[in-house]
Chains A and B, each alone.
Chain A
Amino acid sequence: MDSRKILIVDDNADIRLGMHLRLKANQYQTFFAADAISGVAEAQKHQPDLIILDLGLPGGDGFSVMESLNKIPALATIPIVVVSARDVMGNQKRAFEAGARAFLQKPVNDDELLAVVRQALGEPAATKKPTLHDQASV
């Protein structure tokens, strides 16, 4: 099976590297963007299966990235996991309204991040082979 592609949009290079190492170890392929504008550009270029998105970004913010993605039909359905240092209060609700699948507050626990990524990708459990259309909508 081809490994699933994950785009990491975060302006902190250390965090990008840390997430990359963790995701790579779990057989995911990663791409990076460090600001809002290249976040959208990289998404268009690589068509990732999932985006991990920080909220505080140069050149816009995570919400503006989600807004731009929502306008592009090919990208609008990519699941987004927001990982931010911002307060849960207010931001979580806004992120969900903008279409995010999950909101994690930094500092994030890697196990939790992986669990959320798997869930958002529709990969049910680590023990079970992931199947396509596993989470058909009701």
Chain B
Amino acid sequence: MNEKPLQVLLVEDNAGDVRLLREMFSKERRDAFQLTHLLRMSEAETHLAKGGVDIVLLDLGLPDGHGLDTVRRAHAAAPEVPVIVLTGLDDEALAAEAMNAGAQDYLIKGQIENRALPRALRHAIERHRMQTETDLIRTHQLQFKDEFLSHVSHELRSPLTAVRQFVTILLDGLAGELNPEQRQYLEIVLRNVKQLHSMINDLFEVSGVQAGKLKIELQCTSVSDAIAYTVNTLTGAAAAKGIILPADIERTLPSVCADPARVRQILIILVDNAIKFTPQNGTVKIQTRIFEEDPAFLLLEISDSGCGIDPEMTERIFERLFQASGPAAADHNGLGLGLYICKDLVTRQGGKIWAKSTPGQGAVFSVTVPIFSLPKLLAPAFSEERQTERPITIVVTELGSQTGWLSNEVRGEQCRGIRDLLRGCLYSDLDVLLPKMDSTGPAELFFIVAITDGIGGEAICNRIRKQLDSSEHLRQAGLTHSTFYRPLEAIERNSTESKEDFLEKVAIDIQELMSKEISARQVRNG
């Protein structure tokens, strides 16, 4: 058998450990392994990015990286290369966490038995290969399902178009006058066509839910806007049943941390349902307030004066393919997917959804959404004890298009890609990725807050630039990016000040700086 030597990258700063490992390798066949040894994580990242490494042996306490962060960085630099973590005897818990973070295996220093090392390496590589293969098969299966659904939906939409066209042609009298009975029957046809159309759309959505593919991009979102959009969209449907949707929307609601498109979708599903199950001239209300049980959440309540829900069913209605039964439901059968999609969207944004009802007296659907809070987002990066925080760096990454405006579609997809990439650039315990704060016309802005030491913003900026520069994804989409930083002075903390108060203070400073960045661009872009 003529195998190429395995390229092993050892990242370890302890000379003694390196010597021991080298000795172990020296006992193996000469052409079996080729060892490259590096001392620092930054060097390892550069080396990994070049390619050609088969496996990494990674120490978790390096001069420029520690803990799970090193595993994440190795994985970000070369996702296809398996990592074995080297750990001390007292750190087995950390090693287990490292495996959750993507490491294939761990070896305890000083406990590596004779000949165990090559076996561990080969097993890790084999396991990694099998896992990659399984992932690939799964991806292909999902892709096939997507293509199939897309095909089916295409085939269904064309005949549906013809049906709808001719029904409306008849209804509009283009083929002669209709008598009232004929008109009534055609209206029934049209109503069913519309229902079929919305079922086809639901089928699409639900295939996304099951694949965990419904994308959610959390950001600072206005609930008032989402309510206004929903009311605007459904006013017609409500008016047809003599239901008046509330037009006065409270403008002073706090912003939430959610995906605006998904909040609109949730509201549309719930309000549309409420209209469907409410009789002629009934009422549908949308109310919002701070959630009494947990003031960190905003509560949205959609109530109706419809037939209500059997109390035993208030949980089951969120199950996939659940169909309401009873006389009132008979007219409104959809696929039973709307509330299922809704629940998935709510929980994945950190909220809860539930229903309460007294049969015959309507139903109330409640949704909670986390209120947007800068101090809360910052909290993990600030320690409890320290009295003076080190200087704070705000890194701004701006995403633009070479051809002018970012289309909505590019916007959604690419911004999510960038966020994932930025997340990979972060040191988990020092940096905070804030949700995208604003879109400023032709550009999108992302912010990272970093509590820096001596190296400062320059190093963080370089780290991010390097990742973005090497992103094939960005280049293919014809997008430009620029990353720069804005420093904030170290902020003093009074000895009496609680962490919460201190964070409030920091948040105000950061918010100010971010607002300046955003408005500077809005001026520039006219």
Identify the A interface with B (CB < 8 A): 12, 14-15, 18-19, 21-22, 25, 56, 85-87, 89-90, 92-93, 96, 105-110
Contact = CB atoms under 8 A, between A and B. Distances in A.
Given A110-B165, A110-B168, A25 B174 contact: yes
A106 B409 contact: no
Contacts of A12: 158, 161-162
Contact of A15 (B161, B193, B407, B409): B161
Nearest to A96: B407
Nearest to B204: A87
Interface of B: 150, 153-155, 157-158, 160-166, 168-169, 172, 174-175, 193, 197, 407, 409-410
Contacts of A85: 153-155, 157-158, 161
Contacts of A22: 165, 168-169, 174
B409 A93 contact: yes
Contacts of B175: 21
- Which of B157, B193, B410 counts the most chain A CB atoms within 10 A? B157
A19 B165 contact: yes
- Which of B153, B155, B165, B169 counts the most chain A CB atoms within 10 A? B165
Nearest to B166: A18
Given A105-B157, A110-B165, A110-B172, 11 more contacts: A14-B162, A14-B165, A22-B165, A22-B169, A85-B153, A85-B154, A85-B157, A96-B407, A106-B158, A106-B160, A107-B164
B162 A18 contact: yes
Given A12-B158, A106-B158, A106-B161, A92 B409 contact: yes
Nearest to B160: A107
B406 to A, nearest CB: 11
A62 B97 CA distance: 53
B407 A18 contact: no
A10 to B, nearest CB: 9
Contacts of B165: 14-15, 18-19, 22, 108, 110
Contacts of B409: 89-90, 92-93
Contacts of A108: 161, 164-165
- Which of B158, B169, B172, B193 counts the most chain A CB atoms within 10 A? B158
A14 B161 CA distance: 9
Contacts of B158: 12, 15, 85, 106
Contacts of B153: 85
Given A21-B169, A93-B409, A15 B157 contact: no
Contacts of A25: 172, 174
Nearest to A11: B158
B161 A93 contact: no
A106 B193 CA distance: 12
Contacts of A110: 165, 168-169, 172
A102 to B, nearest CB: 14
6 contacts: A12-B162, A22-B174, A85-B157, A86-B154, A110-B168, A110-B169
Contacts of A86: 154
Contacts of B174: 21-22, 25
B477 to A, nearest CB: 11
- Which of A56, A85, A92, A107 counts the most chain B CB atoms within 10 A? A107
A94 to B, nearest CB: 10
Contacts of B197: 107
A85 B162 CA distance: 12
Contacts of B161: 12, 15, 18, 85, 106-108
Nearest to B162: A14
B384 to A, nearest CB: 46
Contacts of B154: 56, 85-87
A107 B157 CA distance: 6
Contacts of A109: 164, 168
A97 to B, nearest CB: 9
Nearest to A86: B154
B169 A18 contact: yes
A105 B160 CA distance: 12
A22 B168 CA distance: 9
A105 B161 CA distance: 10
B150 A15 contact: no
Contact of B157 (A14, A18, A19, A106): A106
Contacts of B410: 93
A82 to B, nearest CB: 14
Closest 8 A/B residue pairs (Cβ): A18-B165, A85-B157, A14-B162, A107-B161, A106-B161, A107-B160, A106-B157, A85-B154
